[in-house]
């Protein structure tokens, strides 16, 4: 007899919430946004945009009226605009590009591990535009004061080995440039391409599209950004004409990153989990969680109308998977791997070392507490399952990293007595996590 699925509504997308808030703040006029994720990170983004001249009015849960900046980002009277990004790397990296299109001085600083997270690449990329980054303590790291008179246009190149958010920040700024801006990808590799596609989607939604060109046999030619699956340095560039963002009404779609914990719960628990509010045709890279869980052996079924997806448990086997395009899924997949038969190897995620914690090291150490084997290498991790002992008490050190709570929470579905030194740090990206996860934990009978 088939078991009734546990029902979950997907939280709003953090990535798209950040981008919608920024585009609305850059538009001339008032926008209405609904479905915005309300979290510490998005609150930081709104506070920083407010310091640059935008206005936000909360009209209800996840609903905001946004009055955009009349002349783009501007600094404060008599001093630099104070942009405290807290622990939000997304806020920091996106706004480092965005404020470069403004006028004046903008001081970016943060809390926790933020001053150990690199920000040197946008400084290098934007130097040719006359933008100056004055790093206060360590070169290439916040705190930093950005001085600018706007972007003149021309050509810039961006390296994406550390983060695609450097490119996204400059793309978001590009429509405010005084002349056409061509942005090329340089360096040796590019990570997290799907997040760039989300940026391009948000720009188009607010009336400021970019032209994407790919290098072919006859030179560069325009392509639809939705057709691009990865970015290869030297073979992709972006052309943005001067213009302005247009205010609009927009609903933010559900978040595949934060939904991944519930989808994985359907794969590793005793009952299926049905998640609604996700788009089957989403551009979010973390939609890959379904492909990974299916490759491990889980059953994945979409409703006929494509409005909800159900993941059902089956015997899981280990996989080898390149997760360079979906690094936020690594804690979810690493924990799910502990429920499988045979090892799982995750590769191309060296950039996890510069997240809220060194996530590769943290996952290796914390997962080992369950008795499973872990082996860390330069750009990835191998997990070798061992029997998970029901009733075993394990207290995980979160390192104040939200994803080191939400991923390991899945161990409760094996009957482990799971504890965390800082369970509340989920508020960074998903304040409602425990309220959504507890019915799954209780309903699985663990």
Distances (CA, A) of 102 to 76, 129, 137, 313: 12, 12, 24, 51
Verify that 269 and 401 share a domain, yes or no: yes
Residue numbers of the domain that contains 62: 14-214+226-239
Active site residues: 328
Confidence class for position 43, pLDDT limits 50, 70, 90: very high
**Are 270 and 157 in the same domain?**
no
DSSP per-residue letters across 69-129 = PSSS-B-BTTB-EEEE-TT-HHHHHHHHHHGGGSBEEEEEE-STTGGGS--HHHHHHHGGG
CB atoms within 10 A of CB 417: 13
Mean pLDDT, range 77-92, rounded to an integer? 93
Residue-wise pLDDT for 326-377, tens only, equals 999 999 999 999 999 999 999 999 988 878 789 999 999 999 999 999 999 9
Confidence at residue 322, expressed as pLDDT on a 0 to 100 scale: 96
Q: Nearest Cα to 21, choosing from 86, 67, 72, 88?
A: 67
Residues 56, 174 within the same domain: yes
Angle, CA of 220, 222 and 227, to the nearest 5°: 115
Query: From CA 179, how far away is CA 418, in angstroms rounded?
Result: 56
- Contacts (Cβ under 8 Å, ≥6 apart) of 262: 8, 10, 273, 275, 436, 437, 440
What confidence score (pLDDT) does residue 252 get?
A: 94
39 and 100 share a domain?
Answer: yes
What does the pLDDT read at residue 1? 47
For 169, 195, 208, the CA distances from 175, given in Å and listed in that order, are 12, 19, 6
Cβ neighbours for 50, distance < 8 A, ≥ 6 positions apart: 56
Q: What letter would DSSP give residue 217? A: T
Q: Tens digits of per-residue pLDDT, 380-409?
A: 999 999 999 999 999 999 999 999 999 999
- Say if residues 142 and 110 touch (Cβ distance below 8 Å): yes
pLDDT at 230: 79
What is d(CA 15, CA 3) in angstroms, rounded to the nearest whole number? 33
Q: Tens digit of pLDDT for each residue in 307-321?
A: 799 999 999 999 999
Q: Which pLDDT score, from 0 to 100, does residue 446 have? A: 41
Residue 101 and residue 207 in one domain: yes
Rounded CA separation 380/137 (Å): 30
* Cβ 16 vs Cβ 277: under 8 Å: no
Q: Are residues 189 and 334 in the same domain?
A: no
Whether residue 130 has pLDDT greater than 70: yes
Indicate whether 392 belongs to any domain. Answer: yes
Query: Is residue 137 one of the residues assigned to a domain?
Result: yes
Q: Are residues 64 and 89 in the same domain?
A: yes
Q: What is the mean pLDDT of residues 263-269?
A: 97
Per-residue pLDDT at 49: 98
Contacts of 150 (CB under 8 A, 6+ apart): 72, 101, 102, 103, 176, 177, 178
List all residues 6 or more positions away from 406 whose beta carbon is below 8 Å from its beta carbon: 258, 261, 331, 332, 426, 430, 433, 437
Give residue 306's pLDDT band: very low, low, confident or very high (50, 70, 90).
Answer: confident
> How many structural domains are present in the chain?
2
In a domain, 93, yes or no: yes
Taking residue 297's Cβ as centre, other Cβ atoms within 10 Å add up to 16
Q: Going by C-beta distance under 8 Å and a sequence separation of 6 or more, which residues neighbour residue 323? A: 288, 329, 330, 333, 346, 347, 348, 349
18 and 164 together in one domain: yes
In a domain, 261, yes or no: yes
Please name which of 202, 281, 172 lies closest in space to residue 15, comparing C-alpha atoms.
202
Considering 239, 274, 305, which residue would you say is the last residue of a domain?
Answer: 239
Average pLDDT over residues 32-41: 95
Residues 146-204 have pLDDT tens digits of 999 999 999 999 998 888 999 999 999 999 999 999 999 998 887 778 899 999 999 99
Residue 304: which pLDDT band, with cuts at 50, 70 and 90?
confident
| One domain for residues 267 and 207 | no
The answer to whether the beta carbons of residues 231 and 376 sit under 8 Å apart is no
Residue 265 corresponds to which tokens in the numbers above?
Answer: 């719960």
CATH of the domain at 316: 3.65.10.10
Give the per-residue pLDDT at 352: 87
pLDDT of residue 159: 94
How does residue 226 score in pLDDT terms, banded at 50, 70 and 90? confident
Q: Is residue 292 part of a domain?
A: yes
- Rounded to an integer, the average pLDDT of 27-51 is 97
Judged against a pLDDT cut of 50, whether residue 116 lies above it is answered with yes
Q: Which residue has the tokens 């640059």?
A: 52
Share of the chain above pLDDT 90, in %: 86
DSSP state, residue 141 = S
Q: Same domain for 191 and 56? A: yes
Strand order of the sheet with strand 380-384?
320-322, 344-347, 380-384, 373-377
- Same structural domain for residues 157 and 297? no
Give the sign of the dihedral formed by CA 205, CA 210, CA 215, CA 216. Answer: positive
Asked if the model's pLDDT at residue 81 lies above 60, the reply is: yes
Q: Which residues sit opposite 148 in a β-bridge?
A: 104
Do the domain assignments include residue 245?
A: no
Place of tokens 């935008």: 54
pTM score: 0.87
Question: In 156-305, which ranges are continuous DSSP H helix?
Answer: 165-173, 193-205, 256-268, 288-296
User: Does some domain include residue 343?
Assistant: yes
Same domain? 302 vs 328: yes
pLDDT grade for 227, boundaries at 50, 70 and 90: confident
The answer to whether position 427 is within a domain reads yes
């Amino acid at each position: 007899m088939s078991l009734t699925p546990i029902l979950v509504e997907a939280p709003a997308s953090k990535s798209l919430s950040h981008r919608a808030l920024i585009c609305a703040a850059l538009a001339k006029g008032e926008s209405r946004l609904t479905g915005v994720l309300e979290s510490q990170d998005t609150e930081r983004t709104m506070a920083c945009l407010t310091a640059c001249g935008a206005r936000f009015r909360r009209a209800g849960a996840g609903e905001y009226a946004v009055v955009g900046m009349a002349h783009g980002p501007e600094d404060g009277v008599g001093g630099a605009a104070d942009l405290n990004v807290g622990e939000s790397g997304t806020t920091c990296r996106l706004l480092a590009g965005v404020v470069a299109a403004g006028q004046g001085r903008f001081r970016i600083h943060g809390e926790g591990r933020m001053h150990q997270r690199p920000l040197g690449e946008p400084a290098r990329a934007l130097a040719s535009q006359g933008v100056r980054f004055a790093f206060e303590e360590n070169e290439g790291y916040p705190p930093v004061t950005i001085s600018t008179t706007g972007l003149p246009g021309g050509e810039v190149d961006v390296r994406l080995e550390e983060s695609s958010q450097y490119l996204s920040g400059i793309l978001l700024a590009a429509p405010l440039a005084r002349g056409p801006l061509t942005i090329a990808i340089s360096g040796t590799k590019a990570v997290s391409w799907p997040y760039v596609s989300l940026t391009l989607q948000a720009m188009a939604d607010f009336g400021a599209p970019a032209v994407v060109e790919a290098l072919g046999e006859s030179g560069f030619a325009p392509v639809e950004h939705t057709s691009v699956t990865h970015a290869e340095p030297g073979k992709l560039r972006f052309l943005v004409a001067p213009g302005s963002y247009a205010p609009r009404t927009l609903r933010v779609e559900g978040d595949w990153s934060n939904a991944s914990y519930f989808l994985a719960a359907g794969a590793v628990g005793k009952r299926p989990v049905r998640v609604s509010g996700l788009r089957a045709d989403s551009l979010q890279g973390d939609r890959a969680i379904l492909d990974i869980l299916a490759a491990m052996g889980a059953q994945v079924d979409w409703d006929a109308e494509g409005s909800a997806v159900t993941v059902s448990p089956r015997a899981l086997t280990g996989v080898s998977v390149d997760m360079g395009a979906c690094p936020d899924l690594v804690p979810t997949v690493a924990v799910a791997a502990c429920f499988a038969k045979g090892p799982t190897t995750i590769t191309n995620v060296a950039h996890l070392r510069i997240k809220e914690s060194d996530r590769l090291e943290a996952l290796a150490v914390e997962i080992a507490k369950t008795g499973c084997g872990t082996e860390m290498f330069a750009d990835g991790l191998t997990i070798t399952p061992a029997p998970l002992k029901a009733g075993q008490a394990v207290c995980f050190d979160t390192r104040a990293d939200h994803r080191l709570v939400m991923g390991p929470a899945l161990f409760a579905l094996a009957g482990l007595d799971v504890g965390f030194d800082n369970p509340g740090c989920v508020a960074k990206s998903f304040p409602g996590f425990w309220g959504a996860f507890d019915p799954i934990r209780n309903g699985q009978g663990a």
